[in-house]
Amino acid sequence: MKWLLILWGGPVTLLTGWYGLSYYDMSFGIFMLTREAHDLVFRVYGHILGMPPETIPPLVARAMIIDSLIVFGLVAMRKRRQITAWYRRHYGASRSPEAPLASNANLSSAP
């Protein structure tokens, strides 16, 4: 499970970091972080895919969101017992709706 998160989180972090830095032209002297490289990368991808370059970033963002939901769903399926136990500890979901609360029982028995 740790490797799944590393292999998912590493590329997502690198891609979003590169996109943000190159979009705003924060190059720190590195060509790959310039706006020129940013535009070149999307022009090449647009040419390969046969679509306008400005339509690619929203498609990539949507794909990353869907992939993230799938990864978090897998983690939740794997950790569902721990999540359920945490939920019951914090929100008392183990009580049945018909059972009175402990504080109500103590109040009704007081003189």
Cα–Cα distance for residue pair 10/40, rounded to 1 Å:
23
Report which of 12, 3, 11, 5 is spatially closest to residue 76, judged by C-alpha positions. 5
Cα–Cα distance for residue pair 74/72, rounded to 1 Å:
5
What confidence tens digit (pLDDT) does each residue in 60-72 have? 999 999 999 999 9
Average pLDDT value for residue range 74-85: 88
Cα–Cα distance for residue pair 18/40, rounded to 1 Å:
14
63 three-class SS: helix
What confidence tens digit (pLDDT) does each residue in 27-45 have? 899 999 999 999 999 999 9
Q: Which residue has the higher pLDDT, 96 or 72?
A: 72
Query: Above 90 in pLDDT, residue 107?
Result: no
Domain limits of the chain?
8-91
pTM of the model: 0.67
